[in-house]
Amino acid sequence: MTAALQQLRGHWSGFNEVSFVAGMRLLFWICRVFGRWPFRIVLYPVLAWYVLTNARARRVSRAYLRRIAACGGPANLSVLRHFAAFAETILDKMLLWGGLYDTRSVSLHGVDGEDGVNRCLDEGRGALLICAHLGNQDLCRVLSQRNARLKLTVLVHTRHAQAFNRMLERLNPDSQLNLMQVTEITPATAMLLAEKVAQGEFVVIAGDRVAVSPQPRVAVAPFLGQAAAFPIGPYVLASVLQCPVYLLFSMRVGQRSEVHFELFRESLHLPRKAREAMLAELAAAYAARLQHHCLRAPLEWFNFYDFWQLPDTSRLDTPDAPR
């Protein structure tokens, strides 16, 4: 087996995150007809079977939860609860696109004020939103459909979750709108996105998954007590777009869903001589905010692979070494 194939096996795209979602159709029906608690009663036996039969999923979830505890988070969290939170989020996405989720209960933060995202909307300016695989990001897309001024283009790589996407599309065809399949940011992609931002649109890109590419470029930053690889694509794209950059975090805290917009940079310039140091600084700043929110809602981070396994460790001599 080649080294490339071995690396792919440890990459997030090599995992079917929603491999247990086939039964969500039945669970969705149970929730819709009988309510959330009957849904949970049926859910836990399904989850128990999944966790017992998937050693890799158990291992990576347990490792993440141990890091949470070591960094001052709760020490009594279980793998079963972690996957239950994932299943609840899948259900919420289905309820959202099925028109059965009350978005009025969502708490919005960082919208108004001098640094709020509404400032860009008022000025007719576009922006870059760097999100994470934390909580339910579809909340932002549904909310944007109810605000005519907020137009989103979401960069995604979802070919590993086609069955789930088809399920959402059957619930609501709009679930697939404003999605742009991207494996890497090419000059042509950057030009297209620059046009969208110039027209006042918001571009959304994940900051916590390395690109699906033979040689993705990353910066290494501390996260939950150990170095991890973060993509530099969001920051390179931001330097091209020359627009405000916000961090976007969505999560369930207690019984409420929250969406946070945090101004990251008014604009971003990568100097040629200090480029690597700047990329490392930006990745570290993003990782610090991600860690903050993971500690607030530790069961809401859904990267079920070995996030701290640095790809091609022999080439970690610079913060954005290609791999």
Q: Which two tokens stand for residue 119?
A: 């400032």
Q: Which two tokens stand for residue 49?
A: 């079977």
Tell me, what amino acid is at 278? M
Measure the CA–CA gap between 212 and 8, rounded to whole angstroms: 9
The answer to whether 98 and 311 are in contact (CB under 8 A) is: no
Residues 67-96 have a mean pLDDT of 91
pLDDT at 313: 38
Question: Nearest-5° angle of CA 167, CA 105, CA 140?
Answer: 50
Q: Is the pLDDT of residue 161 over 70?
A: no
**198: Cβ contacts below 8 Å, ≥ 6 apart:** 126
Q: Which two tokens stand for residue 31?
A: 């929730």
Determine how many CB atoms are found less than 10 A away from the CB of residue 224.
23
- pLDDT of 246-273, one tens digit each? 999 999 988 889 999 999 999 999 988 8
Q: Bridge-partner residues for 107, per DSSP?
A: 258
What integer best gives the mean pLDDT of the chain? 82
Determine how many CB atoms are found less than 10 A away from the CB of residue 140.
21
Strands 127-131 and 179-181, sheet pairing = unpaired
Q: Is the pLDDT of residue 57 over 80?
A: yes
Q: Is the pLDDT of residue 146 over 80?
A: no
Tell me, what amino acid is at 290? L
pTM given for the model: 0.85
pLDDT bucket at 162, cuts 50 / 70 / 90: low
Q: Which two tokens stand for residue 83?
A: 């996957």
Give the residue, 190 or 67, on which the prediction is more confident.
67
Question: Nearest-5° angle of CA 161, CA 245, CA 228?
Answer: 55
pLDDT at 176: 60
pLDDT bucket at 171, cuts 50 / 70 / 90: low
Residues 27-55 have a mean pLDDT of 82
Question: Angle, nearest 10°, between helix axes 138-145 and 79-97?
Answer: 20
Nearest CA-CA partner of 137 in 59, 213, 202, 228: 202
- pLDDT of 271-316, one tens digit each? 888 999 999 999 999 999 999 999 999 999 998 888 998 876 334 4
**50: Cβ contacts below 8 Å, ≥ 6 apart:** 19, 20, 57, 83
